[in-house]
Structure 1
Amino acid sequence: MTISKSHAFFVCLLLVPLYPLGSIQMGVLLHYVAVCTFAVFFFLPKDQRVFLPHSVAILIALYFMPNVVRIFFQEVRFDLVNSILRDLICFLTFIISYNVFANQDLQKLRRVLKTLIGVTVGFVILQILPGTYSILSHWNPRGVQGFYGVQIGSLFVFSYSFGVFILLSSIVLGKVKFLSVVLIALTQSKSIFLAFLGISLLRMKLRSLPIYLGVLFTVGFLYYDTILQRLPYLYFLIDTWASGEIDPSTQYRLIQAQIAVNSVLDGPFWGNPTSDVNIENLYLYTLNEYGLLGATLRLVVAFLVVLETCGRGVLSRSERMQILLVILFAGLSFPVLEAPKISLLIWALFGALYRISQERS
């Protein structure tokens, strides 16, 4: 049985450990090396031509431009160099995926995603088994137990990254199965819950909306205690908000918002990040790093790239809007288009969808 290039590329992006030797920096570097190795392996042969549509090339160039401009307005630091390198690797990931999906169809991509879901679920099962932590910690040192009960991140480490992967895969597969709902619930991520609710409403026909909401509220009312006991973090959030207080996660993000505002005041056009605080929000992170002008250009172009490449003519308009909605909501929790591992898989997914849509048109 031969393994296709498309399967090999996506599985490789997923299986490269994110914490080898306990260092996420080393894991990011390994992902960069893996992408470059695939590029050399696939595209060096003389009979292999590399294609990329001009329209997408221009959009991606505009998306990356703020990072290049920052060289002239900010002190050249390791973070800036790493940001430029990350952009180049994401661009290369898109190109590889676009080319390895030549002469492929949506069913092929769906088979790849089913394989990835199976691998991630299998990893979670292995995490539960005793005596596996020392080995699996190179991929995920957090395990399945967080501060507030079960919070699974699988091979993505972070629960919200895993939630984005499950949601995007479900949209491309055309249906949200019961397993996907369980996995999404076990992430216990506020932004993922909001994204799931949003795409569920988009999938519902308008006349079915009252029935859907009625069933949801009835189940919630009848099984309120049972559900919250199984999801202790959700219970903690509701209890904190009901008391008129702010939960620690939200409080920390408010601090990050102040840091981003201070950065914009220091460098209003192209940013002047001076704090080492990790900002866990796509919009605040971009504002902090790129300033008002750079952040506006980067975010606008990013969403244009998403709309252009996420399967026009292959996925329905509703499904494409659901993909955009997942990106928008996930951005509330972390820089989804720049985070380790998940960002590369998103760029690879868009590359595949764009190639499939072009060959169908």
Structure 2
Amino acid sequence: MSRLDSIQRPASEPAAPARTIRSYHARSGGGIASLAVREHPMPVPGPGEVLVAVRAVSLSFRELLVLRGSYVLPVRPDVVPVSDGAGEVVATGPGVGTVAAGDRVTATLFPTWQHGPFGAQHLPQLGGSLDGLLTEFAVLPETALVPIPAHLSYREAATLPCAAVTAWNALTGDGRGVRAGDTVVTLGSGGVSLFAIQFARLLGARVIATTGDPAKAARLRALGADEVVDRRDTPDWDGPVRELTAGRGADRIIDVVGTLDRSLRAVAIEGHVACVGFVGGAPVPLDPRLLFASAATVRALAVGSRAQFLEMNRAIGARELRPVIDRVFGFDDAPEAYRYYESASPFGKVVIALD
């Protein structure tokens, strides 16, 4: 039987809880071992809500932080994890008018953040203080949904909400944005960095990528990097960036590692450092003299708004850009997907497919 066979009502009416669904649950601080599948009645969308059959989800470093108990935002007990997913609308609650059954959608990580600056009122997030998408069916607010670009599969679309929107915000969300001819530096080959390479090239920038794995250098160039700096040979990667920019420095650095001291040494005067994360572990204390020497803007950012998501999707659709997927796991193998993501240093996104 299809997962949708039990939903008989028109799209304008809530779906009846005619069957059970499966969802993963996890405990913050419990690690991957805390992931467990449970059965629930089919959820029913209320006013302004939409029932989505989840087709795929993707993992990001955020998901590991949630399970490790080190995520910076609140996590509800016994949470359904994972913020990033894509699926098909199968039923809508009263008052819903922008989507209908059959629409292909994904959702914003922060469901209430529609546009403008981020604020405390937007802190509730999927897979954290709100249940996430590692489930067969999810009820989501209509206002959180974003249409999937027509050329993308569900698996590709599932990679967008966290890593891609973060990269887009890092490149465009400061009021100036990357311009043709700018130089952008990316660090490593995680999801944000790979999207940043693709988006920076789309915006006309020159890209210098850094990597600690020489085997990935050719793949970074194939994705769009103009130059690749091997951090294994030159851990002081700010020096090569200066050399490659004739001493000027990069206009923008997407720092996912937390090495702000090096980023400030590598950035141009009045350049921009987007502080996206700290996957490198404990950050190095920052010397304020580096800030004054560079006169740079250091902007910490939290993913992006729904308006930025829509803007990004228009750019993705116009150029038919495709996300990089490293490996796909089945729903029953979700714990193995987490373990692979944690230990294998994937090149591209790790996806869990439900279709």
Q: TM-score range by the shorter chain?
A: under 0.3
Q: TM-score with structure 1 length normalisation?
A: 0.27
Higher relative contact order structure (alpha carbons within 8 Å, sequence separation ≥ 6): 1
TM-score for both structures, normalised by structure 2: 0.27
Q: Greater helix percent: which structure?
A: 1
Point out the structure with the larger strand share.
2
